[in-house]
Chains A and B, each alone.
Chain A
Amino acid sequence: MGDLLNLSVYNPSSLKDEDFLRSFVARQVVAKRLIERLRETTREGIATHQLIMGQRGMGKTSMLRRIAIAVNNDPALKSIFIPLSFREEQYNVHSLSVFWSNCLDALADWYDRTGQPLRARELDDEIARLSTTDKEAAHETFRRWITSENRRPLLLLDNIDLIFSGLKSEQWALRRHFQEPGGIVVVGGSATFLEATADKDAAFYDFFQVTKLDKLTKEELIACLRSLALARGHDGEKVVRLVDQEPARIRTIHDLTGGNPRTLTLLYILLEIDTGGDVFTDLERLLDQVTVLYKARVEDLPPQARVVLDAVALAWNPVLASEVAAATALEVTTVSSQLDRLQKEGVIEKVAVSKTTKSAFQICERFFNIWYLMRHGPRRQRTRLRWLTGFLKSFYSPDQLLERAKLLVNGSEDVDADQGQMLLALSEAIDDEVWRSLLKNHVRQQLERFALSIGKTLDEIVDATELPFPRTAAEWVTHGNMLRQHLKKSREAEQAFLTAASLDTGEWAAWFNLGNVRLGDLADTTGAVQAFRMAIALRPDDLSSHFALANSLSQDAGTHVEAEIQYKNCLKLKPSFYPAALALADMLTAEDGRLPEAEHYFALAARMAGKKDTHILHGAAYFAAYVLEQFDRALRLYRRQLTLLPNDLVAQTNIAVLSYFSGESKQALLVDEKLLTAHPPHGRALIEALVALRIGQYVAATHLPAIFDSAPEDLFENYQGFVLLLLREAERQGHGTSTLQWIDSSGSGDRHWPLLAAFEAYMGGQAKLQDVNPEVRSAAQRIYSLLIAPRRYRESVEVRELEKRRLFELE
């Protein structure tokens, strides 16, 4: 940032001429006009003196420097004028003699700057010898030296009001000097009302040609920003883009600057540094830069004026005299008089407000107000927060604000009170309500931690009303859902739901959501079941509670009985609720002897669901193909799936494979290459093995390595149907033993132990499952049930037929 601060902000004289000219963008037209007026001044005639007026930060000092450079660089002007610059505030002027001494010092400086050190030293020596009692000595000396240069002294007098007020009794005398033909030409600057020009009997009434430096319009501001950015070359490119592409943010920036060029330059620095960095830190550094100047400005005021200034600054918005009186406990008449004084000094200005026809007051220089708010406003000050929020909204786009918020909420950095305030402002700046709430809660937690660390309470470091905290059970539920859905903080979400439930045990949503987070995110089935039971107790007829409970119970084979009851409860509550039928069918598929019931519920689900429900179709097709081995029926269902979703890879693949098993494809046709390449290598190998089995070309040692060697551990999960079919068909085709042996000996059995154990039982009898440890046995049992499902289904169908026939015969 150091380089950026070389932009002329507070001390134009500290810059080199080239740097200064590059940064002088705001007042080109005015500068040109003033310089042209100088050109109209002849060597001998009576001069027209200029007065540049404007609030602080409007560019008076820069304008004086600009004129000095113009004179130095222009041969015609240089031949007529010697531009003499002075220090910004000539506090020491209490008599004309002192004034002329200052002029002599300025002349000596000029000699130094223009490479005439000998003349400078000579003059310095003469100044040192000046009589302190001879009031005319300094003037005479100045006149003599200037005459020797045969040029007119151009006095560039900043804060000329200070000079005039120091010379109260000698103003007329000074005026006479200024009116000498061929003599001094004055260009003065003043931020405040000049009494010396106000009254028709005053010394400088009708004396100056006045130029007021007005606030920049939005268009001028845009032009200045662009000029600044272009002058900065590559570094300024992002600001050029901002100017071109985000006019709304520029408008906000204009409001923040109040049309003040100095404030604009300061904010430009932040714009260029940009948003990727920590703008808060940079803002703090900028504020530090201006503190000395602004602090002095405040301390220069008498006590009552300071009190009034404080009230106006902290209000930030325009404020009425009566409001200032109320805030300060001063009489309105006193306040009005101080407001008048501050207005005359250019510190505050009158503005119109909509609520009344009376004038309101605000600080003229907006960045001074910003500094005051940030440095003197209590952290609990809402206006401070509002300013920061406005500032952030102007510097970040809505997307950037959201990104910042997400980073901060998911981050773990500790914050102190000031940083917390900044984060609060950020939360206010975000449009997204969810993230605003999340960020505020994050800030609250951080600040609570900070407060604790310094032995304070939260209220002592921040206005707690800025940090809404969930209070009711419903608010805690909302908070928990936000934590879960947006931040994936399931544990914290669980705590939030528990808090909601503790606040109100009758809050159904607390229990229901508690169950969901436990079941869905925390793998806590027992906890989920407890929560869902509570939900059902509160709402016995609530379908979603029963379904959720059923799903929880179905996770554990030991509670399948109750799960079945709950699924059936769902169907009682709403007979068309096919997800319950589907889930029940799925659960029953793994249970011995219950395949016909599973089939019944699959069919029920398929009937209840819309004809276009692809999820049901998939389930039904899978059940038909890989549980019941009803390949024709499965093919019909997968083909119906394709009419709904023509690019469904799963349906396409199943159709391709099952065509061999249904007898549709008897020839040694290869599965479409395009389809095969859509699968990972182990999937592709599995498909090829299945086809090879059906066309009599299967060799375990040839086909299995490609399946199992590269397969991830979830092979069975992702290709369950094909694996089951492979193992069954291998057994049917007499390759069962070779297949089993290969899996066992290849090492793949270690990774797919439950599968191996299940196949071994399938080949050698269910009792084989007793040979494996209990941890593997449960999973192996499930796979085994699936392996023998077609067989058991056929057996149960045969039993039913036999029963029917027996009954028929009996009849």
Chain B
Amino acid sequence: MECFGRDAEATDLWHRFAAGENVLMLAPRRIGKTVLMNHLLETAGAHGYRALLLNVEGLQDEKEVFRECCAAIQEELSTGKRVMTSLTQRLNQVLLGGNKDADWRSALLQSDWQDFASHLFAHLDEPGDENRPWLLLVDELPIFVQALQARSGVEAVSRFLYWLRKMRQKHRNVRWLYAGSIGLDTIARRTNVEGALNDLHPYTLHPFAPDTATAFLRRVGERRQATFESEAITAILTRLGWLSPRYLAVIADDAIATTPNRIVTASIANLAMDKLLELDKRLYWSNWREHIDRNFAEPDRSHLHSVLQLVAKDPAGVTEDTLLATQQLGARDLRPLLDILMNDGYLDRTQAGRYAFRMNLLREWWLRYVVL
């Protein structure tokens, strides 16, 4: 997939990596972070890095993470196999008592994860013949951390995150980019491990600016031999609100598919957006509700739904006063929930100081399918 409209972000990130920074990318879902990370993976060589992309969603414990990491290194086209071979030799000597028949999997199985991973990163830290540092792109780390907490408790989370920090401090030739669709910082705050992340540069991936979104739609049009009228683009940008590349692409595709003459008008664009709200398209939206239902325990879950319900009913958003008056929450408890909703991409604070849905379409969907 083309990484459209993210040149500035990619350039900025490469500069940061070159300056020795490690990055925590805070990005609501459907904003294009995975596309960007894939782009970084593909262009790493050109920037003098070896890179791997690791999606840790679904993994259960620390050892699984490092197993996936090693597997990803092994698949790295330039030197990955060689690196793993030399790592295996190192592990044999240090951890396996010189057992020549064993490989890195055996070492992982037989040793403590911290021992294994310490050797792994020490190995990656060495420049070697290539003299190209490693860039590790880790996607959905917050989801893994949540799973780890559920399985092994807050202590395990603290241990893991602080240990990663230690590795970052120690092995400065290895660069890191962590990303996730729920805020790792929120989890860290809840579990009191914010100190483990304070060396990371928080990087916010924003939606497209209107110009970029316009250019994106036109590019989609070009590729599909279709044209978007200005009014159509305005309608899309206004009604979508929050210019997520993913949703822009879906709307654009649906609109083009609907038009009889490859010209997308405002009404066709609106029709396409109406269709996007229909039941058969729930896959585009249901994850927003699932995110709250899956990742938040009661009573936070109920409170988040209650806030969103109220906000959904007013296109202009609601004030904090109205929220306080109608929610069974004190100010102390309401603010963190609003932070979560803003952080996770649901709401934004308008210039008038009101809390409103970032995405109008999402508000419409929420009102139709979630609000009782």
Contact = CB atoms under 8 A, between A and B. Distances in A.
B263 to A, nearest CB: 38
B325 A349 contact: no
A705 to B, nearest CB: 82
List 5 tightest A-B contacts by C-beta distance, closest first: A214-B330, A359-B298, A210-B324, A350-B299, A210-B321
Given A199-B313, A200-B313, A349 B324 contact: no
Given A206-B319, A212-B331, A352-B297, A198 B302 contact: no
B238 interface: no
A217 to B, nearest CB: 8
Q: Name the residue among B299, B300, B318 with the largest chain A CB count within 10 angstroms.
A: B299
A194 B328 CA distance: 11
B326 A194 contact: yes
Contact of B300 (A211, A212, A352): A352
A574 interface: no
B328 A205 contact: no
Contacts of B320: 210
B328 A343 contact: yes
Interface string B318-353: 111110111011111110000000000000000000
Interface string B257-301: 000000000000000000000000000000000000000011111
Most buried by B among A54, A209, A210: A210
Interface residues of A, number: 30
B328 A210 contact: no
Contacts of B72: none
A197 B331 contact: no
Contact of A197 (B300, B326, B330, B332): B326
28 contacts: A51-B321, A53-B325, A193-B325, A194-B326, A197-B322, A198-B326, A200-B313, A205-B322, A206-B319, A206-B321, A209-B321, A210-B325, A211-B331, A212-B324, A212-B331, A213-B330, A214-B333, A215-B330, A346-B328, A349-B328, A352-B297, A352-B298, A352-B300, A356-B298, A357-B297, A357-B298, A357-B301, A358-B298
Interface string A49-93: 001011000000000000000000000000000000000000000
Nearest to A195: B326
Given A198-B310, A352-B297, A51 B332 contact: no
Contact of A193 (B301, B328, B332): B328
Contact of B325 (A194, A346, A357): A194
Contacts of B324: 53, 210-212
B23 to A, nearest CB: 33
A208 interface: yes
B328 A208 contact: no
B314 interface: yes
A53 B327 CA distance: 10
Contacts of A350: 298-299, 302, 328
A242 B313 CA distance: 51
A649 interface: no
Nearest to B333: A214
Contacts of B302: 350, 359
Nearest to B320: A210
Contacts of A210: 320-322, 324-325
Contacts of A193: 325-326, 328
Most buried by A among B297, B310, B319, B322: B322
A715 to B, nearest CB: 72
A351 interface: yes
Interface string A317-359: 0000000000000000000000000010010011110001111
A51 B320 CA distance: 13
Contacts of A212: 324, 329-331, 334
Q: Which of A213, A215, A359 has the most chain B CB atoms closer than 10 A to its own CB?
A: A359
Given A200-B318, A213-B330, A360-B298, 20 more contacts: A51-B321, A51-B325, A53-B325, A193-B328, A198-B310, A200-B313, A206-B318, A210-B325, A211-B324, A212-B329, A212-B330, A214-B330, A214-B331, A215-B330, A350-B302, A351-B299, A352-B298, A357-B301, A359-B298, A359-B299
Contacts of A206: 318-319, 321-322
A50 B79 CA distance: 67
Contacts of A358: 298
A350 B328 CA distance: 9
Secondary structure dominating the interface of B: helix
A333 to B, nearest CB: 14
Nearest to A354: B297
Nearest to A214: B330
B355 to A, nearest CB: 12
Nearest to B319: A206
A281 to B, nearest CB: 36
Which of A206, A213, A215 has the most C-beta atoms of chain B within 10 angstroms of its own C-beta? A206
Contacts of B301: 357
Nearest to B297: A357
Contacts of B319: 206
A499 B297 CA distance: 56
A602 B267 CA distance: 120
Contacts of A351: 299
Nearest to B310: A198
A205 B321 CA distance: 10
Contacts of B325: 51, 53, 193-194, 197-198, 208, 210
Contacts of A211: 324, 331
Contacts of B299: 350-352, 359
Interface string A180-214: 00000000000001100111100001101111111
A225 B326 CA distance: 31
A229 B330 CA distance: 28
Interface string A209-236: 1111111000000000000000000000
A542 B310 CA distance: 82
Nearest to A198: B326
Contacts of B310: 198
B321 A208 contact: yes
Nearest to A344: B328
B154 to A, nearest CB: 13
Interface string B354-372: 0000000000000000000
A152 to B, nearest CB: 21
A214 B328 contact: no
A208 B322 CA distance: 8
B217 to A, nearest CB: 32
Contacts of B333: 214
Contacts of A53: 324-325
B29 to A, nearest CB: 22
B326 A200 contact: no
Contacts of A54: 330
A344 to B, nearest CB: 8
Interface string A129-169: 00000000000000000000000000000000000000000
A206 to B, nearest CB: 6
Contacts of A346: 328
A358 B293 CA distance: 11
Contacts of B322: 197-198, 205-206, 210
A535 B299 CA distance: 64
A200 B321 contact: no
Contacts of A343: 328
A736 to B, nearest CB: 88
A489 to B, nearest CB: 50
A204 to B, nearest CB: 9
